Amino acid sequence: MIELKQISKVYGSGNKKTTALSGLDLTIGKGEIFGIIGHSGAGKSTLIRCINLLERPSTGEVWINGVQMTRLGKKQLQKERRRIGMIFQHFNLLSSATVYDNIAFPLRLSGTPKSRIDEKVKELLALVGLEQHGSKYPAQLSGGQKQRVGIARALASEPDVLLCDEATSALDPQTTDSILKLLLDINKQFNLTIVLITHEMHVIQSICDQVAVIHQGGIVEQGPVANVFLKPQHPITRDFIQRESDQGESLQELTGTASGASQPVKITFLGDKTYESILSQTVRRTGVDFAILQGKISTIKTVPYGQLIVRFEGSDEAVQRTLEELAKQGLDVEVMN
């Protein structure tokens, strides 16, 4: 669906040259919600703007639906861009136009008949839950309502791809969740490919299928959200997840107060196993005791997961047998140093 090949973006020249992206490769499948996460200055906004060539890469190729965007002339590029919707952090609405006219704007630009414009705008107002707000102006709307207008406008040309540039960063947590739910519903209803950039792991965890972590202009880790979130490999990824976990006490503080010399063990449950009594049944069979040092249950998109950090008490042989039995039952077991 979307393929970026060796994308680089350099600003300036000579001593003032700045490299925003460096030899970046990325593939995004049809119908996926693909998250790109990174700190400020990592290159994520440049990356998403290279997809629709609002920023033209210095080197590399951008392919969308089998079309090499980087080879298109101006007229062809404008035509292809109609298949790519985009929503922004600060909404970018026309302040002097009504909600209705903001949504109708791209349709008028493309020469859509007036009767079809009216029909389409009403459909989109209903889709984003703003049926009663068509005659209002952006200044009369809340932040969440403005973003819903932005989403409706982006969908007006019936795109194949929706790019979201920090679309929830200016919103409060409750409004953020409602916008994420709307994007998830749109993805399901239209099989729309969504590329979403953010610096918030909560956003990735809530709706994304795949995630790429960008740092200093390159992708340092990527894969299914559950894999990356539950077993992060890169220090930048671990930092994002640690900030998201909101668990005040560090593992060192927790284990420092525990008696005994056994190492803590992180046990991860995914899917239906999250709610099964696997741990208690296993320790009854192996004859060990355990103390829970830390734990949480949450969801990744719609899939439940749980993580426990425990300290087992028993003979080395019994503890080892416990770890092996837990692993055989499909749990991820990690002895922590």
In 3-state terms the chain splits into helix, strand, coil percentages (rounded to 5) of 40, 30, 30
CA–CA gap between residue 217 and residue 227 (Å, rounded) = 22
Indicate if the pLDDT at residue 252 is higher than 70: no
One domain, residues 237 and 195: yes
Last residue of a domain, one of 183, 216, 243: 243
Q: Are residues 222 and 258 in the same domain?
A: no
Backbone angles phi, psi at 155, to 5 degrees: -90, -5
Q: Which residues contact 278 (CB under 8 A, 6 or more apart)?
A: 269, 326, 329, 331
Separation of alpha carbons 190 and 168, rounded Å:
21
111-159, pLDDT tens digit by residue?
999 999 999 999 999 999 999 999 999 999 999 999 999 999 999 999 9
Q: What is the pLDDT of residues 278-324, one digit of tens each?
A: 999 999 999 999 999 999 999 999 899 999 999 999 999 999 999 99
**CATH number, domain containing residue 128:** 3.40.50.300
Is the Cβ–Cβ distance between 57 and 9 less than 8 Å? yes
Place of tokens 């409060």: 172
Q: Which residues have a Cβ under 8 Å from the Cβ of 277 and sit 6 or more positions away?
A: none
pTM beyond cutoff 0.85: yes
**pLDDT (tens digit per residue) in 37-81:** 999 999 999 999 999 999 999 999 999 999 999 999 999 999 899
Instruction: Looking at the structure, tell me whether residues 94 and 233 fall in a common domain.
Output: yes
Residues 231 and 262 in one domain: no
Give 14's pLDDT tier (boundaries 50, 70, 90): confident
Same domain for 256 and 239: no
What distances in angstroms separate CA 313 from CA 36, 265, 296, 309, one per listed residue?
A: 41, 12, 21, 13
Q: Which domain holds residue 25?
A: 2-243
Of the three residues 243, 275, 299, the one that is the final residue of a domain is: 243
Question: Could you tell me how far CA 189 lies from the centroid of its own chain?
Answer: 19
Number of domains in the chain: 2
Beta strands in 105-206 (DSSP E): 161-165, 193-198
Percentage of the residues of the chain whose pLDDT score is greater than 70: 95
pLDDT at 261 over 60: no
At 284, which CATH number?
3.30.70.260
